[in-house]
Chains A and B, each alone.
Chain A
């Protein structure tokens, strides 16, 4: 009551004033109320247990505006609704269409003019009885401003029958709400970052598919007050593939040190008109001039590289190399040289892989770490190489002539090439294994200028090379290795089996990428490799002509096997996306739909060739406790499968500062709010805890 009286008082004052001599904006006396509200519904009836959409529609007197709920700007207050709902009906949060700007002196307001439709998801319980009519009531309050501001409020109500059949459409409501939905920001397809100085904030957006000459205007509406000065000009520079927006820094210093969320509205000139599109953007701070962040990324990369040594795909390769050290009795200098050559092999391979990645990205390709494994050809070739190494460990063929070979090869001059290629092999074998720390470092790297990016890749390489390098450089450390003996041969043979397992897994990856025809080709190639290995070894003691013929045959077999690789990718036809494991395939649209319905969503960004991902799925995501927690909280589960190249998923990764899998996102219920990013190594309890926090 007091409230009403105060409104009346305020309104009287304002009207008295406006009616007075110095009318500030409108020549006519403002109508009362300045905003008419109504509650509309997308459907004319609802079905028990379903989500349906209603909306607050505001018709605003020309020249006046109401406010954006995410951030009203420097002044103002968003429209609100206080519901009085029948039992069994629950209301979600308002989904805010993107706003317009209203500069008022030195302040900037974000809001809507003329008319706006604010959609709200509603859920009706399964217990609602068909045949009854539900009455949704609410008190809507808002602030409406031109030069002056007036708080207004009004009751709204909507009667809607419950039916057993499919909901009947409400033509007017449906078309208004559909139009409003087109104005809701969609998740940004573009990776973004920002750099802050004490005076400015510069937003960097990697905009593919945006023609600079067509852009009429861009404006960034931050989700929070304080990071940027709302009223300051936004200097946009649009180049092919890149958009930078420089704006004065806001008053809240700490706001420009954490994630900057907001809506980027891009107005494009299309034939005969301007089309606006709003993207929900999330930019991580990119301290461009900040050496500390770069150093931190380098340290993370170094740590990630060290951990890579323990990964099942790398460990056997390196163990063999280490075994060679045990048996070695040669000079220190030779050893040291082997260590350095091996390190050079790793560094160079990483430079090649990292450089290729950066070059392809610069060319506009949406790819990330592990991209080479998205090609079935590369996966098959990797399987062949690991298979050949495994056969050699098993003793099917011996490269150096005599067994004990590894040690001899290491000591011998020719062995340097071997050391170099062990480094290259370790790099190649390491790709499918994402170690902890690596994701953040690589994600940071690809957003940096190339010299810093390469530095980070090389730090990763150095981490990988470091244990072996130290063993060769610091002779004292070799004391910790056991003394040589016949056990070495056993161990070497035993180490072949993790490699065979890796080969089996890679063939499974091929099956995911190409289907059964690809697997057939891959297996055929493996048989040829096996035959070539046997032939090579069997012909060792034979006559010269026979050996020559055999060598030719081995080469032909190997070439044939390699030739099968591209053949399989030619055959590739990705298998059906949907799998019957309760995880729906991810699309931007599906995520937006689920969020709009107010559901919490778990997004699992994974790939068949990512071992870490598979382990996480096995130990955490598929565990009964997690399944139970997901079900209990009604969490929708989406799986973004990056096994094959997929620009849409690369963009999702990019928007979280990542460049490789795995990535786990947990979106809260209610349609708004940033998702929690779960760690790259999951445990059952970590996932359950995260779900409990919802």
Chain B
């Protein structure tokens, strides 16, 4: 085949590919962070207006909890005292527990700083801080899709766990009893310096109400 005709052939086959076309169904693209590598760095303000950044937590184990107090799945874990018990257990061992609210203004779960503090008090919750993320910047950085959506970060800043709080993806209060709590397991493993047995699970709950 001469050079010229080869080129013509390539051009023709290229055209054929273009003609066949390519279907792209648009959808928002995002990338969830991977476990086993550094957790994305972020800074967000607490209900008291203080800026908290992940980098400042080096040397401590960090739990991130995405929440929406009106979501039935969140209600399941708060009304049964399951979430609060885990918060107390963790913070009692020196873990930094950050509860994050990514609901955009005007959507379900959006609260002012004062309302957030009121919720913490009325629910007897025990996070280290509640972070307000009304733009959803932190949530999208972590690919947080659900409430509750849980993350565990070790002392070196490595993301060790991402996913559900437990293995019962329901709103049934009775399912809290006897569920396998992935966050507790991850915290125990990370504290003991062992690998997390189940580092990624399907989070369950309501979607995060981003803008």
The chain A residues found within 8 Å of chain B, CB to CB, are 2-3, 6, 9-10, 13-14, 17, 22, 24, 74-75, 77, 103-109, 143, 145, 147-151, 212, 215, 217-219, 225-226, 229, 231-239, 248, 251-253
Contact = CB atoms under 8 A, between A and B. Distances in A.
A233 B146 contact: no
5 contacts: A75-B207, A143-B171, A237-B22, A252-B200, A252-B202
Interface string B24-46: 11111111101000000000000
Contact of B29 (A2, A151, A233, A252): A233
A75 B146 contact: yes
Interface stretch (B52-60, B71-79, B89-97, B188-196): B71-79
B20 A74 contact: no
Contacts of A2: 173
Interface string B177-211: 00000000000000000000000111111111110
Residue among B24, B105, B206 with max Cβ neighbours from chain A (10 Å): B206
A352 to B, nearest CB: 26
B145 A75 contact: yes
Contacts of A238: 20-21, 23
Contact of A105 (B108, B172, B209): B209
B167 to A, nearest CB: 13
A215 B146 CA distance: 34
A218 to B, nearest CB: 7
B171 A236 contact: no
B170 interface: yes
A275 B26 CA distance: 21
Main secondary structure of the interface of B (DSSP, over half): loop
Contacts of A13: 70
Contacts of B146: 74-75, 107
Contact of A149 (B31, B201, B206, B210): B206
A17 B23 contact: no
Interface residues of B, number: 48
B205 A147 contact: no
Given A106-B28, A150-B72, A236 B22 contact: yes
A235 B24 CA distance: 5
Nearest to B27: A233
A2 B98 CA distance: 30
Residue among A14, A147, A226, A251 with max Cβ neighbours from chain B (10 Å): A251
Contacts of B70: 10, 13-14, 17, 148
B106 interface: yes
B25 A236 contact: yes
A387 to B, nearest CB: 48
Nearest to B73: A149
A215 B32 CA distance: 31
Given A106-B140, A233-B27, A147 B209 contact: yes
B171 A218 contact: no
A253 B35 CA distance: 10
Given A17-B70, A74-B146, A147-B108, A105 B207 contact: yes
Rank and list the top 5 A-B pairs by shortest CB-CB distance, nearest first: A22-B106, A107-B145, A225-B202, A105-B210, A104-B207
Given A77-B171, A103-B27, A232-B27, A148 B22 contact: no
Contact of A77 (B21, B28, B169): B169
B82 interface: no
A150 B73 CA distance: 10
Contact of A253 (B171, B200, B204): B200
Given A24-B209, A145-B206, 12 more contacts: A14-B70, A24-B108, A74-B146, A105-B28, A105-B136, A147-B107, A149-B207, A236-B22, A236-B24, A239-B20, A248-B29, A253-B200
A105 B136 CA distance: 10
Contacts of B108: 14, 17, 24, 147-148
